Chains A and B, each alone.
Chain A
Amino acid sequence: MSLDEIKIGGMGASRRRVEDNRFIRGKGKYVDDVVLPGMLHMEILRSTVAHANIKSIDTSAAWEVPGVRLVLTGEMMAARNLAWMPTLSYDTQAVLATDKIRFQGQEIAAVIADDPYIAKDACAKIVVEYEQLPAITNPFMAQDPAMPIIRDDKENQPTNKIFDWEIGDKERTDQAFAEADVISTIDLHYPRSHPSPMENCGSIADYDRATGKLTVYMTSQAPHIVRAAVAMVAEIPEHQIRIISPDLGGGFGNKVPIYPGYVISILASILTERPVKWIEDKTGNLISTGFGRDVYLNGQMALRKDGKILGMRMHTISDHGAFYADAQPTKFKIGLMHSTFACYDVPAAHLTSEGYYTTKAPGGVAYRCSFRVTEAMFFQERMMHAAANDLGMDQAAFRRVNLVKDDMFPYRTAFGFLTDSGQYDKCMQVGMEAIGYDNFKAEQEEARKRGKLLGIGISTMTEPLGAGNSREYDIIGIKMFDSAELRVHMTGKAILRTGAKTQGQGHETTWAQIVAHELGIPADDIVVEEGDTDTAPFGMGTYASRSTPVAGAAVAMVARKIRAKARKIAAHLLEVSEEDIEWELGRFYVRGNQERGVTIQDCALAAYSNIPDGLEPGLENNAYYDPPNLTWPFAAYFCKVEVDAETGVWDVLQFVAVDDCGVRINPMIVEGQVMGGLTEAYAMANMQYITFDEEGNCIGANYMDYLLPTAWETPGFELHEVVTPCPHHPIGAKGIGECATVAGPAAFVNAVMNAIEHTGVRNVDMPLMPNRVYEALQTGKDVSGMPPVKVG
């Protein structure tokens, strides 16, 4: 008599995404769709140069434009102590520049006017006089003592260095290297990239002087963090601040930080006493908001002749732009870079990191990744590739020797993480079979005879998803737990709210499935709401694949609390003691008499109409979930390419992805996440990057230069699954939102390298554009992607 879980849209159902009903009809409600009475419009004037002292800013002509209500400059912000704001990494960032321009695109002034056209016209009338300084476009230039100090606004900042950081065991690692038969090295740059969500950033600030309430519609992946930050910066009490993050047109980490535009729009609303809307344009988004990556990765590996890894060293030099604004757990200066090699049995490891200011946009956001895990895993798999070659070992065999074995869990990594589950070798086997790995060498040789260059690449990884447990993970002091609140109405329908914030992941669909699984209420009877800080419970938001591991767990836990109360009501209705009640999906029954039972809907009705003595009426609760550990999904990716030796153009012939993300709530959504992630991985490997010329001009400021792949060139992907449930997550799920972006790039790059490394080349920096691949083929030398790009 038990319900069919798939039919009610529970766990494992490939339920269609309920949010798509409005998205495909153009009925989504994004920040830009919100129109408030009397709303004004704001435009930001951005710097055209990368590095300059500001000699003067003349706004007088802008004030003259009819329809202009307010022109704000850094000086006016400074008068209210708002010219600078704190970043998520305990640095400061200019809201509107007062002293100096530190990157091209930096915010200089803002015009608030009756419509956005007027605001834009007036921006063009502001005259800024610059005294140019040299652009510093990579951290090595930043080290040069002849270069100016970028952050001369700060005390105790005599150089352009931001931090030195290390983790691991240096002595043990040195020892491992002393004992090594072979030492392998690699030198890489993971280029700067931009998450580039379809919807740009924006806000509508609405300060009501009569009530003292500030409401801000905002493109935020973490509205509660914003509320806390605004309370601290704007000195408005927290209960008087309401942040509403409506539908988001993608985030990918780009909508985690707090941007100057938000802050300026808030002040503008306070000053004008009108709602003020600010919607960034695409160029503004690309040149000024949170970028990802931009790290130089250098490493060595100590190896035994038989292929066993004895130890590894890694050194990172990261380029953070003009302000250290990385959005990451505070304890770790370079994110979770030390998750590198977590899937391999590596006895000794040591990581050292240096971070630098440059005259580039700030950000360092976790672009579809768990805080620099993308760089960590890219480094790992490029290092593995180089090491296998140096050993003269087969790529797959080398990995299989070193992957953590199933019986080694829980496994403590050399950097201190605890991985808890996985079937790594099984994933390898599934992937190798699907791509025809064992035949490849013959295929490659045969193709060479016909003048064709084929290559195969492997990338495997486990990554730490779901920050975090509160012992180790906090952002500016706020612990990284999450929450859910569930209200079951009288007729058995329900509303669920969480502290996460969906931006394409499909929470409205999957959260309802978890509740359906736990309570047997059909998923279609549950509405899911997120993003309004006045109604949603406090949470840290959605990024770093943390929603299902943390908020999703809270959803299961709150549903279980509801079930526990419903059980009491059921006992009352069935007139037996609670101990004699059994549960099956959607229904309680009397032990030994399965016929005698009540449904969860019966219990809901009774909660409002027939409450046993001593029990509170109603059927609602909340849960705050602090995960005991991160979750550790595993990926094994295999890619086959063909390189055109005459042009350097490469094509993907086959791509096989094996993912183990534990229990899959909605397999269709999981596949969507993997497909999307692989598309971004392909983009990173092939075309999508931001660079700078010698003057510090951003190359990648629009979609003519910043290339996102389309359906046209994106290769097909073959997806496979292995399921190893997470041992500590209430429903056995692990994160999946980012596995493919994290593990994907190295698979493409390793494949191309495999096709061309007979020339002696060890590395070509991403993106592997045809000209770079051609150069490597011609010279047999490594090709660096370090900016600045020479033009002329």
Chain B
Amino acid sequence: MYPSRFAYEAPKTLAEAIALLDANGGEAKVLSGGQSLIPMVKLRFASPELLVDINNIPGLDYMRIDEQGNLRIGALVRHEDLEHSTTLPATHPTLAAASHLVADPIVRTRGTFVGSLCHADPQGDWAATMIALGGRIVAQGPKGKREIDMREFVLGPFTNALAFNEIAVEAIVPPVKGKAAGSYLKLERRVGDFATASVAVALDMNGATVGRAGCALAGVGGRTIDANDAISVLVGKTLNAESIEAAAEAVAAAADPRTDHRGSADYKRHIVKTFVTRILNNIANSEQKAA
């Protein structure tokens, strides 16, 4: 595999990195984990003139909860950092569930959480979890920082809302009101396979009642499917057979799958419904156990 000719810079500061992007007017690409960009360049699906490698910029590899309770994930946090976190399963079960299902163990050592969001692959796992969690992206450009809601960040397949001279420096997950519940289920044919269909559900539970409800889907549309509105039928309700059925129906209706070699559109929609049901049943069952 032989990419076309490109230049390579590895700046030591964000300011330099942004200046390089700015000076190259859209012909430059940020390189973080390289787990999507390098294959694209290798296959010549992308032929950037300049790669701006941000791996040497210090201070971007943090994952912490701030005073307001926001989870902040820096641009150089790798998939495996989330996977190996001991606190995430309790604070953010949706992220924890997905962390084992993103790519394969090798890719997870290098690929970054933020890079995956920027890549905006319709089959990408993290974007679905972030939309379900109501997360935001912090973009930094020559004029400073701005925050972009994940629902507005993914514009289409492989297209995000960043300007050519902006770097996504951080992802933010807002605090949970009540108790965090949720999960991520993915139908994959093999480890490292992209999703045939997958479902991210994130709920804020007030006792047995659903406070906030978030949901997004991967693999079943031309971009990550925002199913937050669909799952909002649960808000203010308890989880029971009836409410779960209604939510699963609504989410499945939001999916927009295509028939291909991985299965028919109907099959994929059915998987979405099955997975929503399974996740909600599990939450309901563990609520019962806790009570």
Which A residues form the contact surface with B (CB < 8 A)? 43, 116-117, 119-121, 124, 281-283, 646-647, 649, 686-687, 691, 699, 702, 704-705, 707-710, 712-713, 769-771, 774-775, 789-792
Contacts and interface: CB of A to CB of B under 8 A. Distances in A.
Interface in B253-271: 258-264, 267, 270-271
Contacts of A792: 258-259
A112 B43 CA distance: 20
Contacts of B5: 117, 121
Contacts of B261: 691, 699, 705, 789, 791
B267 A775 contact: yes
B9 interface: no
A647 B191 contact: no
A770 B263 contact: yes
Nearest to B190: A707
Given A121-B4, A646-B274, A791-B258, A771 B190 contact: no
Contacts of B267: 771, 774-775
Nearest to B262: A771
9 contacts: A121-B5, A281-B1, A705-B261, A707-B190, A707-B193, A712-B104, A713-B191, A771-B264, A774-B270
B190 A710 contact: yes
B37 to A, nearest CB: 15
B263 A647 contact: no
A116 B263 CA distance: 38
B126 interface: no
Chain B CB within 10 Å — which of A121, A647, A687, A775 has the most? A647
A771 B196 CA distance: 10
B187 A770 contact: yes
B192 interface: yes
A710 B191 contact: yes
A711 to B, nearest CB: 9
Contacts of A702: 43
Contacts of A43: 2
Nearest to A791: B260
Interface string B100-135: 000011000000000000000000000000000000
A571 B122 CA distance: 80
A700 to B, nearest CB: 9
User: Chain B interface residue count: which class?
Assistant: 20 to 34
Contact of B190 (A691, A699, A709, A789): A709
B153 interface: no
A116 B258 CA distance: 38
Nearest to B271: A647
A624 to B, nearest CB: 43
A708 B261 CA distance: 16
Interface in B156-193: 187, 189-193
A707 B262 CA distance: 12
A357 B285 CA distance: 57
Contacts of B190: 687, 707-710, 712-713
A319 B74 CA distance: 53
Contacts of A124: 44
Contact of A791 (B2, B3, B191, B259): B259
Contacts of A774: 267, 270
B105 to A, nearest CB: 8
A774 B196 CA distance: 14
A602 to B, nearest CB: 54
Given A769-B263, A791-B258, A120 B2 contact: yes
Given A120-B2, A712-B105, A791-B261, 10 more contacts: A117-B4, A120-B44, A283-B43, A647-B271, A710-B192, A713-B190, A770-B187, A770-B263, A771-B262, A792-B258
A775 B274 CA distance: 15
Given A120-B2, A707-B190, A769-B189, A647 B274 contact: yes
Nearest to A689: B261
Per CB-CB distance, the 3 closest pairs between chain A and chain B, nearest first, are: A771-B263, A712-B191, A120-B2
Nearest to A770: B187
A646 B267 CA distance: 10
A282 B42 CA distance: 12
B187 A649 contact: yes
A120 B3 CA distance: 8
Contact of A710 (B104, B196, B270, B271): B104
Contacts of A120: 2, 4, 44
Q: Which residue, A124, A283, A705, has most C-beta atoms of chain B within 10 A?
A: A705
A771 B266 CA distance: 10
A787 B68 CA distance: 56
Contacts of B262: 769, 771
B162 to A, nearest CB: 25
B93 to A, nearest CB: 21
A789 B262 CA distance: 10
Contacts of A769: 189, 262-263
Contacts of B196: 770-771
A46 to B, nearest CB: 13
Contacts of B263: 769-771
A789 B191 contact: no
A493 B196 CA distance: 58
A686 B4 CA distance: 36
A652 to B, nearest CB: 14
B1 A647 contact: no
A780 B274 CA distance: 20
Contacts of B194: 704
A120 B43 CA distance: 11
A690 to B, nearest CB: 10
B35 to A, nearest CB: 13
Of the listed residues B5, B44, B192, the one surrounded by the most CB atoms of chain A closer than 10 A to its CB is B192
A308 B120 CA distance: 61
A482 to B, nearest CB: 37
Nearest to A43: B2
A643 to B, nearest CB: 14
A775 B3 CA distance: 42
Nearest to B1: A281
Contacts of B189: 686-687, 707, 769-770
Contacts of A699: 261
Contacts of B2: 43, 116-117, 119-120
Interface string B124-160: 0000000000000000000000000000000000000
